Structure 1
């Protein structure tokens, strides 16, 4: 049984898995936080979310033994991440064991980061962890790019702590969301009034211009069979999306509404049209990725049926 420590000692050590009991402010009750201590006032939960607390409210804490990641859970997450990689295929991939070192001339974090596959808390690079990290740093240095890891918090706990200790910093939390498009999902694309939807196998110049995309980004997207949706209002392009198909999944990306048309329902309309196209293509599973702080996009995605599958973040080496 783990030893319970009174609040006279600060919660710690950093990186340890802790159960912290805190007094509810202004009340007589208590509540517990369980997770990895990243800072003196911040705990990272098992699901990847962060929780801050006031150290002055700590009543007691104890260190909790780390339980191994369940292989079935890790394998499901990794299988989806492999599909997502094929949906957003970088120009170059090198491997260190099961680690995927991806590069695409700097366009997007996902296509220019290392995905550590293989479970075990830091994947399976086939060599000692610190040596593998050094090789990643050298790989991106030769490309004149910053070293970036794509971290899956529910799997890569040891790796995340190791790279943080040498200067890597997370650039935000991303939600990997999924949904099943079956007969119970009602997709009403009829109430579009003066809206026209055009679908093509290639993005038009207007589609690319709305995103500010260049030749590098276009080349990346065209590496995967995809459908490009264009939403027009009175012959003006107001919204776009991309559905890329890999195995029995469709990955939705590049959802964009023209700035002067935001807040008018076009985001949901382009999503409904995208789901209809995926369904018409005979695919029932869809995924997308969205930053946790993008609450407006999350509201739209959840309204059409998406829900959280797992969290990820991108950790960048800061010079």
Structure 2
């Protein structure tokens, strides 16, 4: 995809406003780290890997704008905390901020101009590494895509949700690039319609056939034998394989299990939170109910009716066929496999 979700330019962070797609391609030019935090919080940028990249660039931008090294560590911690407080579920956000902290403390005795360059470079490295990681995810997962099948995906786990290639859609993109031909069904994904607006837009640009359905249609199509495979992204994966993803994923996983349809999660290894034992410990973001009640500027609910909006749910590992990462496709038992890959990673 030619459009970049996020990039550093001339001492600013340019973020594609995904709320306006596909009608408009508009970039928000963030001059201050608080603006980056706001784009994360208000869903202008979304998707766990993309949120992590934005947080890293926000940290770099915050230090970039400092005029002096006075109370440097105190101000740096404030920058990090502001970005940490934006959204609670996506693990990549916290992972990226911790990585920026390590870079800061390893160079905090450098001159301020040098420190700024170190942090900018680290944020750009996170972006570049994410694209490379996504391509590896695509290569590892493309063998799952057979000619002639129909794949269901939920929300948007494509280039827009990452540095620029995609996790779940990265698998589809890699298979398509290798010559395999198939069809995709995308759930609308209420209330932001990431499937209908973003996933469909991305696939259309790649020339991959895509059909949009309402979220509640998937079960009927599965019963009709019209869905052969499900691939979704992830916002946080617990050490046992339990996976938090966009609300509605859990329901799809149960339906897929009932109909004997393989259900895969595609995510970078950095999405796995080794400090969380299971899905019950994953913090689930609860967003304002008014986000459900409005389509654009029009309220579609009767005045005075309450709306409850959880942005994510947790799919237990027992419903997941495999987790596609840059390290390979992790299969059950997930806890042992994740621990083994984690040790291998730590040992280089």
Shorter-chain TM-score bucket reads 0.3 to 0.5
Structure with greater proportional helix content:
2
TM-score, with structure 1 as normaliser: 0.33
Larger Rg: 1
Structure with greater proportional strand content:
1
Higher relative contact order (CA 8 A, sep 6+): 1
TM-score, with structure 2 as normaliser: 0.31
